């Protein structure tokens, strides 16, 4: 037996979504204050689940770390996802991407990394695909190709590389 009409269920769902959004806005405000003490805030974006994410970076001119902080939990000095890259002659080289897959976090980081490259007139972003990545190499190929990278793979050595050139 259903206790609520369709209209009442829709109303309850809207109230639930509104409460979640209000909480994320509150948490975003608090986290922005704390994140900005540790890093440069680059922007705010949304994950695949429509959760709000704070995008920040720490950049010492040699290494750039892009970090994502969700607005579901308090910022405790580190984000929920990060991309670490190094500057080389006319290129930024991705060293590591850390965090859970399938939330859209990698795509958010990639968008901001390309923005940094353009901002600094760096025409290329490169990276390596290593043996340790081989258990998820198909997912990596899909991810990088989705972001307009050229990807090459050597199955014999379980290695490869990526390259994006800004046109």
Give the DSSP letter of residue 126: E
Instruction: Examine residue 101 and state whether it is found in any structural domain, yes or no.
Output: yes
Structural domain of 13: 6-122
Instruction: Examine residue 13 and state whether it is found in any structural domain, yes or no.
Output: yes
Instruction: Examine residue 21 and state whether it is found in any structural domain, yes or no.
Output: yes
pLDDT of residue 20: 87
Whole-Å CA distances, 135 to 108, 139, 143: 23, 9, 14
**pLDDT tens-digit profile, the chain (167 residues):** 556 677 777 888 889 889 988 998 999 999 999 999 999 999 999 999 889 999 999 999 999 999 999 998 999 988 899 999 999 989 999 999 999 999 999 999 999 999 999 999 999 999 999 999 999 999 999 999 999 999 999 999 999 999 999 97
Backbone angles phi, psi at 26, to 5 degrees: -60, -50
Split into its structural domains, the chain has a count of 1
- Kindly report whether the global pTM for this prediction surpasses the value 0.95: no
Query: Per the structure block, which two tokens stand in for 120?
Result: 């600094």
Instruction: Examine residue 74 and state whether it is found in any structural domain, yes or no.
Output: yes
pLDDT of residue 4: 64
Instruction: Examine residue 92 and state whether it is found in any structural domain, yes or no.
Output: yes
Instruction: Examine residue 91 and state whether it is found in any structural domain, yes or no.
Output: yes
pLDDT of residue 3: 65
Instruction: Examine residue 143 and state whether it is found in any structural domain, yes or no.
Output: no
- In a 3-state reduction of DSSP, which class is residue 8? helix
Q: What is the DSSP string of 131-143?
A: GGGGGGHHHHHHH
Q: State the DSSP H helix or E strand holding residue 54, giving kind and residue range, or none if neither.
A: strand 52-59
For the chain, helix (H) and strand (E) counts, in that order, are 3, 8
80: left (phi over 0), alpha (psi -120 to 50) or beta: alpha
Instruction: Examine residue 88 and state whether it is found in any structural domain, yes or no.
Output: yes
């Amino acid at each position: 037996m259903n206790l609520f009409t369709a209209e009442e269920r829709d109303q309850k769902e809207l109230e639930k979504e509104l409460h979640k959004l209000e909480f994320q806005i509150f948490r975003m405000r608090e986290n922005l204050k704390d994140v900005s003490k540790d890093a440069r805030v680059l922007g705010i974006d949304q994950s695949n689940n429509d959760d709000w994410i704070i995008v920040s970076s720490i950049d010492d001119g040699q290494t750039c770390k892009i970090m994502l902080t969700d607005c579901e939990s308090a910022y405790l000095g580190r984000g929920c996802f990060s991309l670490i890259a190094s500057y080389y002659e006319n290129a930024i080289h991705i060293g590591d991407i850390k965090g859970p897959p399938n939330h859209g976090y990698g795509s958010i980081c990639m968008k901001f990394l390309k923005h940094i490259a353009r901002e600094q007139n760096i025409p290329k972003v490169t990276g390596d695909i290593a043996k340790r990545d081989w258990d998820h190499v198909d997912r990596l190929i899909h991810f990088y190709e989705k972001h307009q990278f050229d990807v090459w793979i050597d199955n014999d050595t379980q290695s490869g590389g990526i390259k994006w050139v800004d046109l």
